[in-house]
């Protein structure tokens, strides 16, 4: 896989944050109803990403059970978005050798970004903050995804 292909997959999946933010701004009347489901959907997307990555490497059953138990413990303790976005960057690099899996995982990260952007809009912008400032904060606070994925790809493929 070439750098531009990998960088495009990472960039497009990262734009899910922006898409979710602006989608939420266009559907303000549905947000109160949907708000209670977004954190659960985020958790489901995280578990689905883990399942796809583990399935792509054909891990044995014991290792999968241990990984799911650890993942569920991390999710139960708290959902730290910056941690998960950095982990997604690592996972995207790990599956980058297989284009099909890369596209599936990056699509799931896009879906996670849709949910995260919608949650961020609902919790921040309704307090009359400047919209562009909130978009900037959202993108910068989760930029670890871009940095981790591209740096790992560059360092481990070109150095």
List the chain pLDDT tens, one digit each, 159 residues. 788 999 999 999 999 999 999 898 888 788 888 888 998 899 899 999 998 998 888 888 888 889 889 888 888 887 788 888 999 999 999 999 999 999 999 999 999 999 999 888 865 555 566 777 888 888 999 999 999 999 999 999 887
Contact 12, 110 (CB under 8 A): yes
Three-state DSSP class for residue 59:
coil
d(CA 159, CA 150): 13
Predicted local distance difference test score (pLDDT) of residue 122 = 62
Q: What's the pLDDT at 27? A: 84
Structure-block tokens of residue 157: 């493929």
First and final C-alpha spacing in the chain: 15
CA 141 to chain centre: 13
What pLDDT was estimated at residue 83? Answer: 87
Residues of 77-111 as b/e, b for ≥16 C-beta within 10 angstroms?
eeeebeebbbbbbebbbbbbeeeebbebbbbbbbb
Give CA angle at 39 (146, 31), nearest 5°.
100
Predicted pLDDT of residue 87: 92
Q: How far apart are CA 51 and CA 31, in angstroms?
A: 29
């Amino acid at each position: 896989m070439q750098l531009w292909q990998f960088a495009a997959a990472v960039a497009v999946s990262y734009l899910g944050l922006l898409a979710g933010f602006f989608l939420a701004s266009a559907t303000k009347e549905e947000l109160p109803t949907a708000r209670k489901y977004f954190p659960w959907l985020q958790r489901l997307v995280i578990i689905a990403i883990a399942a796809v990555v583990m399935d792509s490497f054909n891990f044995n059953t014991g290792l999968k059970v241990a990984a799911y138990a650890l993942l569920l413990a991390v999710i139960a303790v708290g959902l730290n978005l910056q941690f998960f976005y950095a982990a997604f960057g690592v996972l995207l690099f790990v599956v980058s050798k297989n284009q099909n899996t890369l596209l599936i995982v990056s699509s799931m990260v896009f879906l996670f970004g849709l949910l995260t952007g919608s949650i961020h809009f609902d919790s921040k912008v309704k307090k009359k903050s400047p919209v562009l400032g909130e978009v900037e904060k959202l993108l910068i606070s989760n930029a670890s995804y871009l940095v981790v994925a591209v740096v790992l790809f560059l360092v481990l493929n070109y150095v």
